[in-house]
Chains A and B, each alone.
Chain A
Amino acid sequence: MLCSNCGKNSARNYVKLREGKKVELVLCPECYKRLYPERDEGDFFTQFLGNTGIKKSKACPNCGTRLSDYRKTGLLGCADCYATFREELTPTVRYIQWEVRHVGKRPTSNAEEKYDFVRTLVRERDVLLAKLDEAAAEGQHALVLSIQEELDRINQKLNEEEEE
C-alpha cells in the first residue's frame, strides 16, 4: 500500500481524532511527520492505551463500559466512566488536549434542587400526552377535556418553576 500523499513510499495506518470522529490516514512516516508535525507518529490509541497494561476486565460500575469498548469507538459510556478510568484516561486526555486541568466556566446554579421536581412533572406530562392521544383516537371527549385540564395544570407548574 502506497502513501496517499506522496504516492511513492509504502504507507502505514494512522488514526487521528477530528471533532470526536476517527479519521484513518494512509501515509508514509515521512509524510505523516511533515503533515502532522505536532504529534509523534503512531496510533495514539495503541500508543496510550495499548501499552498501559490495562486490565480488560475493568468496567464502569455505572454503565458497564470497558476500556476495550472505548478503544473501539473513542467514546465513553457515561459520566462515571471518567472517574472509573481516570488513571488510564489521563495520558490520552493529555495527548489530545495537551492539558488535563479544566480552567474555564463551571456550573453555578442550584439545578440539583429543581431537577427532580421538573423531571417528575415532565414524566407526568409524557404519560398524560400518551393518554390524550389514546382518548382522542377513541373519541372520548370528556376524558380528552379532563386530560387537557391536567396538562394545563402541569404546564403552569413548569412555567412557575422556570420563572422563579
Chain B
Amino acid sequence: MRGSVIQTFESVAVSTRIRLARNFKDYPFPNLLMKSSHAEEMAEEITGLIAAELSRVDNFVLYRMKGLSDEAAAFLKERNLISRELILNRAVSAALVSEDEIISVMINEEDHIREQYFMKGFDLAKAYERVVGIDEAIADSIPFAFDEDFGYLTACPTNLGTGLRASVMLFLPAVSRRGIMRRVAADLTRSGLTVRGAYGEGSGTEGDLFQVSNEMTLGLSEEEILELVERAVSTMTEMEIRERERMKVEGGMALCDKLRRALGVLSNCCVLSEREFIERTADVKLGLALGILGCEQGGDAGMSALDDLLVAMRPANINRLSGEALSEEGQNEYRAQHVVHALSDLQLYY
C-alpha cells in the first residue's frame, strides 16, 4: 500500500533537550573538587543542598554514582538521563531524576549543577519553561557563580553566559543519504549552531539521527538562543521533507525493496545486533515517513513507537528488561525476539 509523504514536524524532530549549567560560587569546580582531600564531604554537601531544594518541586530519585553499578549507570545513560562525564566523575557525582524520567539534575558533572529537561517531540519553549522552574527552585537558597560580563560562570568557557544548551534530535535520512549533511553542518556552524551524530562525539550517520544545538551561550539571551535553534529546526525539517519527496520520486523499486526488506528482517529475525537494529529501524521509519510502509495507528505513531524501541533495545536497557546480565550474543537474541513481537503489535504493513 502506498501513502503520501508525512509532512509533520514530528516525523523529523524526535526529541528536545534543554540544559542549564550552574555552579556554586564558593566550591571549587568539580574537576578541582575531585582532587581535594575533602572531596567526599564537599560533594555530599552540594548534593544535600540541591536535593533539599528539589524535594519541594517534585519527587526525585537520588542516584549517588559511586554506589551505582556500571550496569545501572549505563542504563541511565542510555535513557539520556545522565552523561558519560557524570559516570567518569563517579567519586563525587550524583543525579536527581524525576519519577517520570523527564527532568534530571546532574551534580558534579563538568559543572556543579546541570539541569536538564528531556522530552519526546519538539517543544523548546515548554522544555525551557520546565527547566527554569527547576533552576529557580535551586536558586532560591543557592547563590550561583555569576559575573556581570561573563554571566553564569562555568568550568569551561564554552558554557558561559546563559549556560543554556538547547538541543533537538532530528531524523534526517533523506538529507543524510543525499550526502549533503556536511554542507548543511557548515551552514549551521556559520549561524552559531552545531550538529553531530546522535550516538555521541564522533559518531557518524548511525540511524540517520543528528543532534542540532546552539554553540554559543554568551552574548545572546535565552529567548534568542531558543529562537535560533527553533529556526534551524524548522529549516531543516522543511529541507528533509523536500528531500524525502525527491527521494520517493527518484527512488523507484530499489528504494521500495530496501525499505520493505528492512521491515521483513525486523519482523522475522532470530538474531539482531544493535548496529543492524539501528540501521534497519531507520529504514522502516523512512518507509513510514515516505508512505511506502504503513502503520495501523498512523505513520507518526509508528515512527514514535520505533524511537521508543531504539532506547529500550540498547544493551543495558535489554538487561534491565530481561532481568539478566546477558552476553552480547544473548542480547542479540533477546533483541530479535522482542522486536519481532513489538512490530507485530504495531501492525506495520506495505
Interface residues of A (CB under 8 A from B): 17-21, 23, 34-38, 63, 65, 73-79, 82-83, 86, 89, 92-93, 96-109, 111-112, 114-115, 117-119, 121-123, 125-126, 158-159, 161-163
Docked Cα-Cα span, A123 to B220, in Å, equals 38
- Counting chain B residues whose Cβ lies within 8 A of the other chain, the interface size class is 35 or more
**Interchain CB contact (< 8 A) of A101 among B25, B196, B219:** B219
B29: chain A residues at CB < 8 Å are: 75-79
B164: chain A residues at CB < 8 Å are: 104
**Given A18-B201, A75-B155, A79-B153, A103 and B190 contact (CB-CB distance below 8 Å):** no
B152: chain A residues at CB < 8 Å are: 102
Contact A111 B216 (CB under 8 A): no
B139: chain A residues at CB < 8 Å are: 107-109, 111
With both chains docked as a complex, state the minimum distance between the C-beta of A161 and any C-beta of chain B, in angstroms: 7
Complex interface bits, B18-49 against A, C-beta within 8 A gives 1, otherwise 0? 00000101111101100000000000110011
**Among A78, A106, A108, A115: residue with most chain B CB under 10 A:** A78
Contact B149 A102 (CB under 8 A): yes
Asked whether any CB of chain A lies closer than 8 Å to the CB of B250, the reply is no
List 27 contacting pairs A-B, 8 Å CB cutoff, sorted by A. Answer: A19-B158, A20-B154, A20-B155, A23-B201, A37-B190, A38-B190, A73-B31, A74-B156, A75-B156, A76-B157, A77-B32, A79-B23, A86-B149, A89-B157, A97-B218, A98-B192, A102-B148, A104-B162, A104-B220, A104-B221, A106-B146, A112-B143, A114-B140, A115-B143, A119-B45, A122-B52, A126-B48
Complex interface bits, B323-344 against A, C-beta within 8 A gives 1, otherwise 0? 0000000000000000000000
A98: chain B residues at CB < 8 Å are: 192, 216, 219
The tally of CB-CB contacts under 8 A between chains A and B is: 167
Q: Which residues in window 40-68 of B have CB below 8 A to A?
A: 44-45, 48-49, 52-53, 55-56
- 10 smallest beta-carbon distances between A and B, as pairs: A99-B219, A102-B151, A79-B145, A114-B141, A20-B156, A97-B218, A122-B48, A104-B162, A77-B32, A111-B143
With both chains docked as a complex, state the minimum distance between the C-beta of B59 and any C-beta of chain A, in angstroms: 14
**Interchain CB contact (< 8 A) of A21 among B23, B201, B217:** B201
With both chains docked as a complex, state the minimum distance between the C-beta of A70 and any C-beta of chain B, in angstroms: 9
With both chains docked as a complex, state the minimum distance between the C-beta of B168 and any C-beta of chain A, in angstroms: 15
Q: Which residues in window 148-187 of B have CB below 8 A to A?
A: 148-162, 164-165, 182, 186
**Given A99-B216, A162-B53, A93 and B150 contact (CB-CB distance below 8 Å):** yes
With both chains docked as a complex, state the minimum distance between the C-beta of A163 and any C-beta of chain B, in angstroms: 7
B53: chain A residues at CB < 8 Å are: 118, 162
Asked whether any CB of chain A lies closer than 8 Å to the CB of B300, the reply is no
B49: chain A residues at CB < 8 Å are: 118-119, 122
Contact A159 B56 (CB under 8 A): yes
Closest to A22 in B: B156
Contact B143 A93 (CB under 8 A): no
With both chains docked as a complex, state the minimum distance between the C-beta of B52 and any C-beta of chain A, in angstroms: 5
Docked Cα-Cα span, A34 to B190, in Å, equals 12
**Interchain CB contact (< 8 A) of B31 among A23, A77, A101:** A77
With both chains docked as a complex, state the minimum distance between the C-beta of A143 and any C-beta of chain B, in angstroms: 22
**Given A100-B218, A101-B219, A107 and B144 contact (CB-CB distance below 8 Å):** yes
Docked Cα-Cα span, A19 to B158, in Å, equals 7
Contact B216 A75 (CB under 8 A): no
Asked whether any CB of chain A lies closer than 8 Å to the CB of B240, the reply is no
A36: chain B residues at CB < 8 Å are: 189
Closest to B141 in A: A114
**Given A92-B157, A93-B160, A162 and B52 contact (CB-CB distance below 8 Å):** yes
Asked whether any CB of chain A lies closer than 8 Å to the CB of B238, the reply is no
B161: chain A residues at CB < 8 Å are: 97, 99, 102-104
Asked whether any CB of chain A lies closer than 8 Å to the CB of B222, the reply is yes
Contact A82 B147 (CB under 8 A): yes
Contact B56 A163 (CB under 8 A): yes
Asked whether any CB of chain A lies closer than 8 Å to the CB of B78, the reply is no
Asked whether any CB of chain A lies closer than 8 Å to the CB of B348, the reply is no
Asked whether any CB of chain A lies closer than 8 Å to the CB of B239, the reply is no
With both chains docked as a complex, state the minimum distance between the C-beta of A49 and any C-beta of chain B, in angstroms: 11
**Given A35-B186, A79-B23, A118-B52, A111 and B140 contact (CB-CB distance below 8 Å):** yes
Docked Cα-Cα span, A158 to B52, in Å, equals 7
Known contacts A97-B216, A121-B52; can you find 5 more A-B pairs with CB under 8 A?
A: A97-B217, A103-B220, A104-B220, A108-B139, A158-B52
Contact A161 B141 (CB under 8 A): yes
A109: chain B residues at CB < 8 Å are: 136, 139-140
With both chains docked as a complex, state the minimum distance between the C-beta of A88 and any C-beta of chain B, in angstroms: 12
